[in-house]
Amino acid sequence: MSDEPRVERARNSSEPFLSQLSTGQYRIAIGVLGFLLFLGLVRLRFCYTPSVPDKPRKPKVVVTRSDSIKTLREGKADPKVYLGQTRTDAQNAGVKQPTADDMTAVFKYTATRPNAQLSPTGRNSIESAGLRIEVTRRTHRRRSVLVLAIENPSKDRYMAYRVHTRPTRGGAAIRGEMKFCARRQAALIGHNAVAIRPNQTIARTECIYKRGMGLEILEIETMVIPPVSYFYVSKLLPTSIGVEARETAKHSLPEGAGKDFCKLISSSSIVRQIERKQITWRQLIDYFARHNCSVYRQFPEEYKPFKRNDARSLPVMP
């Protein structure tokens, strides 16, 4: 048998499939392919739901310490936030809620230098700067001590006060006063050493008592303040506003002022100026009577007491 027909069939088998079909078979194949394509398009249109990729996660916002400080500062500097804080503080303390005018008014300030010699056995009282001052001798916790009574006779005025004294004996200053008077420690009387309520009398232990002792009243400062301000300034540590430690020992918080004293932020410059009397008691009290020291902990170095109502907007930030 000749190999030529085999070769011819092998050559033909290598041609495309459709070219090997008859005309009828070709038409049938085209029809089948067209029908399959039509079914595929219908399925894509009505039966197939393309998958949607997952929603990307919200990027995590990193809040830095500087961002937090900036946000906090902006909130504290907002006048509406400030006034809302004072009203909340007044409500918590159980006193009249202040208005914006109350907090931006001039606070009446009085300073006197009586230089009065008082003793339990002689002249023992004076009235000055809106206060009544009396020197007595008491036995407290088995110690005989020299006591200063400070009375606010007003029926409606809350006051911040400072009464600067010097223990004397025979009319002369006592040498080594601090060491000598430190022996009164066991007989200290708890009291508010910064502010006084209407119709209130405060007693503070000045020194131990020996025959012939008395007190020289050197200086008295008072400032009439709103009721809520009484609680603000009471939270100050007296030594942080330049008042002598002997005169303010056993300073106690009044009910309604909270449980903690304020920890002020004081730059070395401010501390030095307080020590040198370049920043005065009046400046510090005027500021902290308008600002809750738990929130506004830093005294602005350039701050001056209000000399007219609405002299500036509150709060005043350093």
pLDDT tens figures, 216-252: 999 999 999 999 999 999 999 999 999 999 999 999 9
What is the per-residue pLDDT across 270-296, written as a single tens digit (0 to 9) for each? 889 998 989 999 999 999 999 999 999
Phi, psi of 102 (to 5 degrees): -60, -40
Residue 212 has pLDDT above 80, yes or no: yes
Burial of 155 (0-12, 13-18, 19+ CB in 10 A): exposed
Nearest 5°: the CA angle 222, 223, 227 is: 125
State the pLDDT at residue 18: 52
Strand segments, DSSP code E, in the chain are 109-112, 116-118, 125-128, 131-140, 143-152, 158-169, 172-173, 195-196, 200-208, 213-225
**Residue 100 in this model has a pLDDT that exceeds 60:** yes
**Residue 10 pLDDT > 50:** no
| pLDDT tier, 1 (very low <50, low <70, confident <90, very high otherwise) | very low
Give the amino acid at 284: L
Residue type, 306: F
Q: Chain-wide mean pLDDT for the chain?
A: 86
Residue with tokens 């004081």: 266
Q: pLDDT above 90 covers what percent of the chain?
A: 66
- Whether 267 shows a pLDDT value over 50: the answer reads yes
| pLDDT tens-digit series, residues 148-206 | 999 999 999 999 999 999 999 998 999 888 889 998 988 999 999 999 999 999 999 99
What pLDDT does residue 63 have? 45
Q: Report pTM.
A: 0.77
Q: Give yes or no for residue 12 having a pLDDT over 70.
A: no
Q: What are phi and psi of 180, to 5 degrees?
A: -65, -50
Q: Is the pLDDT of residue 15 over 60?
A: no
Strands 125-128 and 131-140: antiparallel
In the predicted model, what is the mean pLDDT of residues 286-308? Answer: 96
Residue 300 CA to residue 264 CA, distance in Å, equals 12
Instruction: With a cut of 80, say whether residue 61 has pLDDT above it.
Output: no
Among 59-63, 77-81, 232-236, 238-242, the least confident range: 59-63
pLDDT, tens digit (0-9, with 9 covering 90-100), for 120-141? 999 999 999 999 999 999 987 7
Query: Using alpha carbons only, how large is the chain's radius of gyration in Å?
Result: 43
**pLDDT confidence of 50, banded at 50, 70, 90?**
low
Top-confidence residue, 1 or 224: 224
